[in-house]
Structure 1
Amino acid sequence: MELLNDMALFVEVVKAMSFRGAAEVTGVPNSTLSRRISLLEKEIGLRLLHRTTRRIELTEAGQLYYERCRRIVDEARLAHEQLGDMVAQPTGVLRASLPVDFAVVYLAPLMSEFAELYPGIDFEFDLTPRQVDLVSEPYDVAIRMGEPTNQNHIARLLAALPGQLYASPGYLEKAGHPQHPSELEQHQCITFARGKSWRLLRQNETVDVQVSGRFSVNSVGMFRRLATLDRGIVFLPEEVVLDDLASGALVHILPAWKGPPTPVYALTETRLLPAKTQRFIEFLREKLEHR
């Protein structure tokens, strides 16, 4: 058990990259931490950390040992937490990376509801479109739309959201209402990339249409904003334009036609999840399935 405790202290020192920072997290004095790590190095027979007056760095052996220790310590903590969770609600800080517009428009009310259910959990949300590295960055979970690109992450499907077509009343007044997907070729369409093809489905009918327009952007928020400014037609899941629909800034067009569903995944580094993360994923899956 003492070895496991020393491994846990070593992990905290590496996470903080300082004895002072680890002391603040663990409540163990700097001097004690330094002595325990020195004894651990002596027992192993290899130096794990390069120490200077200003910083510490991992040795090659230390990097390997840290990667192994972190998993062992996480699993040990998880075992305790899962047992404790039988009699208590989960606690701790949940660190999640979220897609910007989907989080602001659709997920924010769900986060508020989840916070009411679990008052012992605090939250750190990072809203970013980039693909975060769950191994090297301090996130418990990342929520992403679209198929995962990192095969090292564990992906749990939360929902599949069909895309639909939207435009502003001002744009439709100027350009007219398309009556069939083929007419989209004559319209201004806001796309992720030029020369984009949109696939639309209606019952057993499928149409692929080449669309174009003056604006090609890589931000869903910019999509929405340009569409509300009468710049063209957008093709997005309804969940990211709910506010615009409610205000009348955007309206459905060709409502009988939908696009292939966009998957929404919860990505984690491991299958072994603490209770706070497991509850969060289960909550989102339930809410998205019954939206």
Structure 2
Amino acid sequence: MELLNDMALFVEVVKAKGFRGASEATGVPNSTLSRRISALEKAIGLRLLHRTTRKVELTEAGQIYFERCKRIVDEARLAHEQLGEMLAQPSGVLRVSLPVDFAVIYMAPLIAEFAERYPGIGFDFDLTPRHVDLVSEPYDIAIRMGEPESSHLIARPLASLVPRLYAAPRYLERSGEPKEPADLEQHECLNILKANTWTLHKASASIQVSTSSRFTINSVGLIRRLATLGMGIMLVPEAIVMDDLAAGRLLRVLDHWHGKPTPVYALTETRLLPAKTQRFIEFLKERLG
């Protein structure tokens, strides 16, 4: 590699017809150029340049060496450019860990759109709630919701989803529509696992509400389905229920109140990412944002 660099510097000196012009073109100081060319001459055992105070001229051996060096350097540069273009093209298999419900309910159409945009990429999706090990397991990226845990991994924010309250028309007809957050204490509130409080915000105000439910659930997808069947009120980001809202299966409740925003972020082991992973993160930022 050092020899190739010296050959490239020799070509620049010849093309510039002097060390000063080559120095301006390459950013390498005159003294360094002169020393490197002298070392090159010593290494091959031939004088390549006649040096004068005004310019440099090629010796006969230097002319032959220059033509060969130029061909080698040009081929090396072309190969480098072609390799860079190849590496910049998104290709290969993208291995992604995703939260189950978020992937099925919301990410599926985005994944389809991304796949159409980049036909050279294959996909290996693992839908799991567990925290995969990006160091020892073969994943390129993990998409997670909630506050990122402190770790050695790189967390890139993708979006912030605001949870709001929703219920089916049949539930509201049967149980009545809450008018204030405190009214939720008298309603069936569908929570993740055994959460028994909701913290709601409106402008600068906030309130904590005690909630209760007959159901203990660890799936947002099941909570959503039960809500559409009239089994209670849920607090989820609008992205999860857009289709149900459009179809009238769910309605907004307590319009001016919302839960704490939920961050969505991408986890990677390193900042040095292949094109397939970079494009996926950029796409999700664009669409989720």
Asked whether 1:260 is paired with 2:260, we answer: yes
Give the secondary-structure state (helix, strand or coil) at the position aligned to 2:217.
coil
Asked whether 1:175 is paired with 2:175, we answer: yes
Q: Which amino acid aligns with 1:103?
A: A
Residue pairs, 1:17-96, within 5 angstroms: 84-85=84-85, 89-96=89-96
TM-superposed CA distance for 1:126, in Å, is: 1.4
Cα 1:202/1:175, change in 2 over 3 Å? same
Cα 1:181/1:82, change in 2 over 3 Å? farther
Cα 1:274/1:195, change in 2 over 3 Å? closer
Size of the alignment, in residue pairs?
Answer: 211
Instruction: Tell me what 2:249 maps to.
Output: 249
Contact 1:166 1:234 in 2 (8 A): yes
Q: Distance in 1 between matches of 2:147 and 2:195?
A: 21
Cα 1:193/1:116, change in 2 over 3 Å? closer
Deviations 1:161-188 (A, max 9, x none): 0110011111111100001111001101
Contact 1:81 1:275 in 2 (8 A): no
Cα 1:85/1:263, change in 2 over 3 Å? farther
TM-superposed CA distance for 1:95, in Å, is: 0.8
Structure-2-length-normalised TM-score: 0.68
Give the secondary-structure state (helix, strand or coil) at the position aligned to 1:241.
helix
Contact 1:99 1:144 in 2 (8 A): yes
Structure-1-length-normalised TM-score: 0.68
Cα 1:104/1:194, change in 2 over 3 Å? closer
Q: Distance in 1 between matches of 2:203 and 2:286?
A: 26
Identity among equivalent positions (%) equals 64
Instruction: Tell me what 1:288 maps to.
Output: 288
Q: Distance in 1 between matches of 2:117 and 2:101?
A: 24
Q: Which amino acid aligns with 1:201?
A: H
Contact 1:195 1:210 in 2 (8 A): no
Q: Distance in 1 between matches of 2:161 and 2:123?
A: 26
Q: Distance in 1 between matches of 2:269 and 2:104?
A: 24
- Bigger shift: residues 87-96 or 114-123: 87-96
TM-superposed CA distance for 1:88, in Å, is: 5.3
Cα 1:183/1:170, change in 2 over 3 Å? same
Deviations 1:48-98 (A, max 9, x none): xxxxxxxxxxxxxxxxxxxxxxxxxxxxxxxx8996248852111101111
Give the secondary-structure state (helix, strand or coil) at the position aligned to 2:161.
strand
Give the secondary-structure state (helix, strand or coil) at the position aligned to 1:179.
coil
Contact 1:85 1:275 in 2 (8 A): no
Q: Distance in 2 between matches of 1:286 and 1:192?
A: 29
Give the secondary-structure state (helix, strand or coil) at the position aligned to 2:190.
coil
Give the secondary-structure state (helix, strand or coil) at the position aligned to 1:84.
helix
Instruction: Tell me what 2:115 maps to.
Output: 115
Tell me which structure has the larger Cα radius of gyration: 2
Give the secondary-structure state (helix, strand or coil) at the position aligned to 1:216.
coil
Instruction: Tell me what 2:57 maps to.
Output: none
Instruction: Tell me what 1:233 maps to.
Output: 233
Instruction: Tell me what 1:72 maps to.
Output: none
Unaligned stretches of 5+ residues in structure 1: 2-79
Q: Distance in 1 between matches of 2:194 and 2:184?
A: 14
Contact 1:227 1:233 in 2 (8 A): yes
Contact 1:142 1:268 in 2 (8 A): yes
Cα RMSD for the two superposed structures:
2.2
Asked whether 1:145 is paired with 2:145, we answer: yes
Give the secondary-structure state (helix, strand or coil) at the position aligned to 1:236.
strand
Contact 2:159 2:288 in 1 (8 A): yes
TM-superposed CA distance for 1:247, in Å, is: 2.4
Asked whether 1:133 is paired with 2:133, we answer: yes
